[in-house]
Amino acid sequence: MSKLYKEEEMLWLSDIQHYCFCPRQWYLMTVEQIWEDNHLTIEGSLLHERVHQPEQSERRGNVVTLRSVPLASYKLGLCGFSDAIELHPSSADTGPAFVHPKYPGRWEAIPVEYKRGRPKRHNADKLQLCGQALCLEESYGINIPKGYIFYGETKRREEVPFSPELRAELIETAQKMHQAFESKTPIPAIHSSRCRSCSLLNQCIPKANLFGSASSYLEAHKLFML
């Protein structure tokens, strides 16, 4: 992975979720700029609004929590914001460590992501979190072995080890997203059970998947996009 992306080529870390849920949903949102809220996206936005409060950091005992930290990886071509990064005192006296101007010392950085719902069978949440870790690793020259995802429904947080396999899957996913974004070739719909919970069901029209692009289907049928 030798290419370094420019700032104008960056894609959002949060879009990994959409791409993993359905590449076509991601394509419609990112390339065709179509967006429609449903109760799932609204609940998710409210949860993130609560996380992204004005206060940017706090210290409780030995743990510092940073919020809304901007993140970028020029190797992956991904950027975004962290929900939270916890800083724990580093156990090593030497070697790379996270440093912060407001909180002197050597720290281990642990990204924490907040999600509505419960742990899922697919890797989307883990890939997004891993993306945050790789951004931090690239920016600070550190190694981050794990992170946490807090799920609103279970009110528990799950530990996510950043294994070589998860890192490889993230790199491959980022490359596919960039290839699709650059080619601007519509990703065809594949009708499946996930369509029922998709906020773009009405815009995508998955049963018309031969058309690939929702806008071309609507144009062909003289329909209007509301």
CB-nearer residue toward ligand SF4: 22 or 160: 22
If one asks whether residue 29 binds ligand SF4 (CB under 6 A), the answer comes out as no
Number of H helices, E strands in the chain: 7, 9
Gap between the Cα atoms of 32 and 15, Å rounded = 14
Specify burial of residue 27 (Cβ count, 10 A radius: 0-12, 13-18, 19+): buried
Stretch that binds ligand SF4, among 23-31, 66-74, 122-130, 174-182 (CB under 6 A): 23-31
- Contacts (Cβ under 8 Å, ≥6 apart) of 183: none
Residue 185 Cβ vs ligand SF4, minimum distance, rounded to whole Å: 15
If one asks whether residue 120 binds ligand SF4 (CB under 6 A), the answer comes out as no
From residue 101, how far is each of 94, 143, 212, 214 by CA, in Å?
Answer: 18, 19, 50, 49
If one asks whether residue 194 binds ligand SF4 (CB under 6 A), the answer comes out as yes
Applying CB under 6 A, which of residues 4, 63, 190, 223 lies at the interface with ligand SF4? 190
Q: Of 211, 166, 220, nearest to 24 (Cα)?
A: 211
If one asks whether residue 208 binds ligand SF4 (CB under 6 A), the answer comes out as no
How far from the centroid of its chain's Cα atoms is residue 154's Cα?
20
Looking up tokens 């144009």 gives 219
CB-nearer residue toward ligand SF4: 42 or 190: 190
CB-nearer residue toward ligand SF4: 180 or 198: 198
Applying CB under 6 A, which of residues 25, 30, 82, 90 lies at the interface with ligand SF4? 25
If one asks whether residue 24 binds ligand SF4 (CB under 6 A), the answer comes out as yes
> Which residues of this chain interact with ligand SF4, rule CB under 6 A?
22, 24-25, 28, 189-190, 194-195, 198, 200-201, 204, 206
